[in-house]
Structure 1
Amino acid sequence: MGEEARTVLRGGNLVTPEGVVRGDLEMAGEKILRVVPGGLSEDELAGAKVEDVAGCYVYPGFIDAHTHMQCWTGMDWTADSFETGTRAAACGGTTTIVDYATQDKGMTLTEALDEWHKRADGTCTANYAFHMAIADWNEHTREEIPLMRKRGVVSFKSYFAYDHLRLDDAQTMELLEAIKPFDGILCVHCENGTLVNELQRRMLDQGITGPEGHPLSRPAECEAEAISRLMYLSELTGTRVNVVHLSTKLGLEQVRAAKRRGVRVSVETCPQYLLLDDTRYLEKGEDGFAGAKYVMSPPLRKPADIAALREAVCNGEIDQISTDHCSFNMHGQKDRGRDNFTKIPNGGPGVEHRPALIMTTFEGQLGPMDYLHLLSEGQAKVFGMYPRKGALVAGADADVCVWDPSARWTISAATQHQAVDYTTYEGFEAHGQAHLTYVMGQLAARDGEPTGAKPGQYVSR
């Protein structure tokens, strides 16, 4: 065997942990070999494949730490498989997803993890790790927690909503206690499910059956109450927690209060809660049902919530922006809830477009180091992948996104790679695009189109 093929990304703006420097990035095999401020000499370039990336930013591959691929949600299968979802991710510059492997009632954690591996292994363009979502807390589940740790799972999830998934407060406390010995982290869906169920019933009783009933039945108070409860459970146990898909100003205030008390909490929000408001549920479209596109939980919120969350992003209070990618087709899936909004499958697509949405809408407010933190480094640090992922450093995995800030393009369902028949960002004019996406040293996408390579590997953490 000769020495591994070398690739040099030449003359780019390298977004390193220490700051942005102009220079060259050298990769060999699956690893970053060198980060060279100022660049390599002509002699050092000999024998390497050289890509001129002048004018581009070179980031560690982006990480989406909240996806639901190839998943049964209690209503239906998501539209995206691991194959289509990770291909779409790579086209947008995302090189690793962290998906929610889910234990249904009556299932062991081992069975759930084995099933997710079966779905993902060998099919992925981007890398994949798993959080373990727990819906059936019992003595056997508790005994399996150390086994999950051995298999590379250090993050877990529980729900305060959805009857087929949710744990009560005592079970949540016990789960927090079980993952504390190895400093595990619990991601929690924070909505008060009891109140949501009652408010849904009231909406239907009042004859409110369309998508507009969805936000009315899941008000901000339902999120804020659940976040407050989680903060006290974390305080009680001393275990790290992660608030997923934060959507409200009220919820943000609960997090701020908890941080002042010393609670170990990290925060994720998503593009939809930074860009879209609840007037979208009133959209009719050609078939009178366009508002169903936006039925996701938590729902889209008020302009004041968007403003508060965007301010929190700019202030450095948000640890990660991920997507909660959970795609369902409008035709044949979401339209089953035409006469009853509670039967519309909850979720929307987003894994492909997150970097472009964030870099476009925060233009002039955030810079490359902020995007590094929000789209890659934050996820890697919170979920036990840093600095193997999330950093341009020698010895790290060769997951790299070369970002062309001068590219101009329009988001459209007609040209996306997500296997779903709409996008909530149809017609959005994006500034910047993933020019080259490398996964474990292999070119997985160029200018938003896949190369056909499937280099994605399981990330044991």
Structure 2
Amino acid sequence: MNRVFIKGGKIVNSKESFDADILIEDEKISKIFKNGEAAKLDEGTKIVDASGKLIFPGFIDAHTHFDLHVAGTVTCDNFYSGTRAAISGGTTTIIDFGTQYKGETLNEGMDNWLKKAEDGVFCDYGIHMSISDWNEEAKRQCQDMMDRGVTTFKIYLTYDILLHDNEAFEVLQRLKEVGAITGVHCENAGLIFALQQEFVEAGLQNKVSSHYKTRPAAAEAEAINRILHLAEVAGSDIIDVHLTCKEGLDEIRAARERGQKVYAETCPQYLTMTNSLYELPGFEGAKYVIAPPLREQSDIDELWKAIADGEIQTVATDHCSFTSEQKKLGMEDFRKIPGGMPGVETRGIVMYSEGVAAGRISAEKMCEVLCENPAKLYGLYDRKGFIEEGFDADIVILDPKAQTKITAATQVSKCDYAPLEGKVLSGHIDKVFLRGSEIVDNAKIKDTPEGKFLARKPYQKFL
């Protein structure tokens, strides 16, 4: 039996932090020793000294895109490299967005995504299913997905896989019937297309800055407003993924005042970077091309406050990494720049440094949005997201007195740039345990991938 005793640390949960020792037996948290309670340890128990350090539940990143085909290329991180990067930063569970492409069934899309993980994963993983081809068979197979442990879905209101309003409404109705919840990428496709055409006609198609100027906050807010009204009629709860701006947040606030259950997610990039990066000289700004785009400093301030006040429930990454060379596919036309950036490796320490250490949020709030709320929202609340007896021993030991320097030269991801290059952050991920197995020890990652597929339960309402 694998036995590990973590002593001297401060356990962080969403409601409180407290000094305690933890006994791990095999894959589970066997016992938590509080108030100086003495532990009797069997011979052979490995002892880990966490004195002066914070002990978080393993972080859950419910928004990744590994091995995804986009804009004529494929993300540079697959499941192997992406989950290796994830666990190096304290993320012990990811949920990746599988896609049902046009002409596929949901089951075929799911099967294809599971194959992508066959070379090995370093953290536990689940799959969402993105619906792009809505028909009677897809409607029927929503129940198949639930039976296979895929209890969350996604639809797009933009890109070439968007659903029209009538289709989106029908999806919301059907997923309510089967007990699932829908995440929505909210941008107004028609407005974006019209603005892009104007910029191209004005000779601005080779300007990186045209990207954010043709995807204004109004395009996001309008789409949020629209899907929320569709959800209101359908009687369906939804998740607004990667919220970026005050305008969108105001639409969510209005819906909640009407009595709707709306869950909001944002990402570290929207909490740390502004759209001024798109104005960098040359093609440098292409590294930051994502959708929705980066916004203003005022939006950053509003989002941090919304996290602190409980208006935003989760912080995920939307990790969708492309190399600098891949980004050059759009050098002559900003519309062809592959959209996405890395983030799965740095999310935990960014949230600690820019959130907790900076005084914007508490350590307990960090645990809530990175661990506990994702576990509830994504059907893992019976085993993940909490440091409790009987739960999976997914544990992150964070040293608050150390520092972490962000640099592409040392990152685990296959991406050749780091969006926060050169930034020195407060805190350092010291050790990471996945179901009791020590996978990361001071940036050294265990060679053997030990991640497993997670069949998830229906979401737990908590708003």
TM-score by length of 1: 0.96
State the distance in 1 between where 2:304 and 2:67 align: 31
Match of 1:94 in 2: 91
Q: How many residues align?
A: 453
Deviation at residue 336 of structure 1 after TM alignment: 1.4
1:222-274, CA deviations, whole angstroms, 9 ceiling, x for partnerless residues?
00000001111111111110000001110010000001111111000001111
User: Within 5 A, what are the aligned runs for 1:240-259?
Assistant: 240-259=237-256
Q: Secondary structure at 1:443's aligned position in 2?
A: strand
Match of 2:342 in 1: 349
Mark the CA change 1:291 to 1:23 in structure 2 (over 3 Å): closer, same or farther: same
State the distance in 2 between where 1:203 and 1:24 align: 60
2:435 aligned to 412, 431, 440, which one? Answer: 440
Match of 1:194 in 2: 190
Mark the CA change 1:42 to 1:395 in structure 2 (over 3 Å): closer, same or farther: closer
Match of 1:339 in 2: 332
Deviation at residue 438 of structure 1 after TM alignment: 0.8
Q: Secondary structure at 1:417's aligned position in 2?
A: coil
2:295 aligned to 287, 295, 301, which one? Answer: 301
Deviation at residue 60 of structure 1 after TM alignment: 0.8
2:49 aligned to 45, 48, 52, which one? Answer: 52
Contact 1:121–1:458 (8 Å) recurs in 2: no
Mark the CA change 1:42 to 1:216 in structure 2 (over 3 Å): closer, same or farther: closer
Match of 1:207 in 2: 203
Match of 1:422 in 2: 417
Deviation at residue 69 of structure 1 after TM alignment: 0.4
Q: What is the RMSD of the two structures over their aligned residues, measured on CA atoms?
A: 1.2
1:157 aligned to 129, 141, 154, which one? Answer: 154
User: Within 5 A, what are the aligned runs for 1:25-424?
Assistant: 25-38=22-35, 41=38, 43-44=40-41, 46-121=43-118, 123-163=120-160, 165-208=161-204, 209-284=206-281, 288-331=282-325, 333-362=326-355, 363=357, 364-424=359-419
State the distance in 2 between where 1:199 and 1:381 align: 39
State the distance in 2 between where 1:225 and 1:160 align: 11
Q: Secondary structure at 2:115's aligned position in 1?
A: helix
1:385-414, CA deviations, whole angstroms, 9 ceiling, x for partnerless residues?
113110011111111111111111210000
Q: Secondary structure at 2:69's aligned position in 1?
A: coil
Deviation at residue 365 of structure 1 after TM alignment: 2.6
Mark the CA change 1:41 to 1:25 in structure 2 (over 3 Å): closer, same or farther: same
Q: Secondary structure at 2:74's aligned position in 1?
A: coil
State the distance in 1 between where 2:96 and 2:380 align: 14
Match of 2:461 in 1: none
State the distance in 1 between where 2:184 and 2:250 align: 17
Q: Secondary structure at 1:13's aligned position in 2?
A: strand
State the distance in 1 between where 2:127 and 2:265 align: 17
Q: Secondary structure at 2:56's aligned position in 1?
A: strand
Contact 1:274–1:306 (8 Å) recurs in 2: yes
Deviation at residue 428 of structure 1 after TM alignment: 1.1
State the distance in 1 between where 2:78 and 2:61 align: 16
Q: Secondary structure at 2:140's aligned position in 1?
A: helix
State the distance in 2 between where 1:205 and 1:356 align: 43
1:186-215, CA deviations, whole angstroms, 9 ceiling, x for partnerless residues?
000000011111111111111112110000
State the distance in 2 between where 1:24 and 1:210 align: 55
Match of 2:451 in 1: 456
Contact 1:440–1:456 (8 Å) recurs in 2: no
Corresponding letter in the other structure for 1:424 = P
Q: Secondary structure at 1:291's aligned position in 2?
A: helix
Corresponding letter in the other structure for 1:429 = V
Corresponding letter in the other structure for 1:223 = E
Corresponding letter in the other structure for 1:371 = M
Corresponding letter in the other structure for 2:196 = Q
Corresponding letter in the other structure for 1:269 = T
Corresponding letter in the other structure for 1:344 = I
Deviation at residue 74 of structure 1 after TM alignment: 4.2
Mark the CA change 1:344 to 1:212 in structure 2 (over 3 Å): closer, same or farther: same
State the distance in 1 between where 2:334 and 2:452 align: 38
Contact 1:234–1:264 (8 Å) recurs in 2: no
Deviation at residue 139 of structure 1 after TM alignment: 0.6
Corresponding letter in the other structure for 2:353 = T
Q: Secondary structure at 1:43's aligned position in 2?
A: coil
State the distance in 1 between where 2:257 and 2:141 align: 34
Query: Which runs of no fewer than 5 residues in structure 1 stay unpaired?
Result: none
Mark the CA change 1:232 to 1:39 in structure 2 (over 3 Å): closer, same or farther: same
Match of 2:459 in 1: none
Deviation at residue 45 of structure 1 after TM alignment: 5.5
Mark the CA change 1:409 to 1:18 in structure 2 (over 3 Å): closer, same or farther: closer
Corresponding letter in the other structure for 1:452 = D
Corresponding letter in the other structure for 2:349 = A
Corresponding letter in the other structure for 1:87 = R
250-259 or 229-238: bigger deviation? 229-238
Contact 2:304–2:360 (8 Å) recurs in 1: no
